[in-house]
Every structure is written in C-alpha cells, then in structure tokens.
Amino acid sequence: MSNLEKAMSEARENFARQPWEAPKEPRKPEELGAIRIENWIEIKKDMIYDDLEEKPEWQRTINCTPDASTIGTFYENNRVLTFVDGQCRQFISPSTPELIAELKGAGYIEGAMSVPFSNGQIPTDPALKEKLNELLNKRSENEEMKK
C-alpha cells in the first residue's frame, strides 16, 4: 500500500465533519509574506477525485471556491493542510509543523474552510496524484528522520 493510499485510508477512518466559518476579518494580500509553493498543490475548481465509491462524476467534483473572506487563512483536517493566498488561490499539502510555522510566519491565520482531499478522496489526474504522493512520501521521510 502506497503512502498516498495509507493517508487516504487513515483520513477515511478519521472522518469527522466539523462546522466551519471564515474568520470575521479577512487578511489583506499585502499583509502576507511569501510561501514556498513547491511544497503545495494548487486546487482548481472542478477537479475530479475518486473516493472509492460508485458515484457519477458530478458528485466527485471539487466545487468549493475560496472567496475574499478566506484570503490569508489556513486550516488542517485529517493531516491535510490548506491555505488561501493573497490572489484567492487555494493550495493543499500534507500537514507538517514546519508548513504551519511557515504559514504563521508569513502572516496567515488559522481559520476554517473545506480541505480538499482530506476525507479519503484521491485525485484522478495522474500528475496531481503523483505530486500528492510525492508530498506524502516527503512527509513520511521527515517523520522517520525525527524518530
């Protein structure tokens, strides 16, 4: 079982829906520092995922689009981290303390929002799946080195 499959399986087992809302005062783009994007995957509206259940494609489409109220916020769910940058683009990555520290250091604040691919979904796009697996492997290697 690959690290991606393990992480997705773990996410499905730990699934717990939590109500969420954006912070009362969104951050301004000029208040945010730079983030190293190579550690992240940009989420595009209408991405298709596979959640290992028989569903039509329209039910397997990411349709959550960040808005101005989520700019400068980040959120974690089932060890997947997401943030919305100053251009209102949403990114995800496997969560690590270092990435959270980088976000906080750049002025991002913890908010609450939907976290794509955090509840057992797997991207159907081969390049996206490979990038997510690469990031999960990197996280696993870092966790092993700390032990």
pLDDT in tens, 5-27: 776 666 556 544 444 454 556 67
Q: Pick the more confident residue, 60 or 80.
A: 80
Q: Are strands 80-84 and 122-123 parallel, antiparallel or unpaired?
A: unpaired
* Contact (CB, 8 A) for 17 and 128: no
Which pLDDT belongs to residue 106? 93
Cross-strand partners of 83 = 74, 91
Q: At what angle do helices 126-146 and 3-13 cross, to 10 degrees?
A: 90
Q: Report the domain count for the chain.
A: 1
> Can you count the helices (H) and strands (E) in the chain?
3, 7
Which pLDDT belongs to residue 102? 93
Q: Which domain holds residue 48?
A: 3-146
DSSP SS3 for 8: helix
How high is the mean pLDDT of the chain?
Answer: 75
DSSP SS3 for 94: strand
In angstroms, the CA 104 to CA 71 distance is: 13
